[in-house]
Structure 1
């Protein structure tokens, strides 16, 4: 039986506490993206310009911080699809979204070990994340098919798999520009014949 959260847990954060949380989240995202190994919590606090106690007040464990960064990035990807589609033609929105996806992939570099452990334990559901991402891609693909600038037979799972594969290859090449070129090729293949 689940217990009810305490009244304090239900209260919104004070403005300064909310700013500190967002600052730590942004610093952790940058630290994870820039590192091939997991940066220490102390290093993340230093980069955020806050004390370690402030970091632990918001994220009591490494897992809590990794989960927050991961979920924040998923929200940015799904919301980003809608925002890009609102401001750009569908084909351009999809290509820009692929760049967001590449950034999300890069963020996971420095949190891979913790993230994998959380996935193995069931703390993070890949199935749920996958469904959210496929839904975001489908939204753009449907708009593109209607507008006639993306192939009507394009499938979200193919776009996701193609993007993941290309980003994995580019990450191993050591040539950052290769990811952009490969994603451009994928986008070219998604245009109507």
Structure 2
């Protein structure tokens, strides 16, 4: 094989090897990439979507808690069912917020990463509290349809307490989401941000 062809083939092979190793043609490591404005804007958008979902969850949780207070001490099948439906709506809204918070946490950059992770953790707590309130509400509806007024009222009181706890947890989650959104917007507006080390949101 002619020497010139052999040399060309060797050079080509070295070029492929350098690319695979993340080196530039001079054999130096490629510079670490920084997030583009598009990436920062996407993180900001995700955080703001999580904030909006958190507000809806908080509104639903507060509405369910208020529903639980209606005619306290005079529970009925109709009222128990209304409470159950409100608790279901609140639990669904909390789950949607948690999903949005998870997306935001995965996309967050720089200082916004910690705030997004806090919002996600608070979202998980809110979901757990909302699901417990829904479980209590479903139990109250069942008891109101089958048992005595005294037993139904006892169950309803436990439901009211669970709904109040869920409203408080969701309120904290909404505040955390607002903080995370503010951080994300700040990061998107600040030039020259560098990405935080990748983190996996812990359960």
Task: Please tell me the TM-score bracket, short chain as reference.
Answer: 0.3 to 0.5
**Bigger relative contact order, structure 1 or 2, given CA contacts below 8 A and separation 6+?**
2
> Normalising by structure 2, what TM-score?
0.31
> Normalising by structure 1, what TM-score?
0.32
Larger-gyration structure (1/2): 2
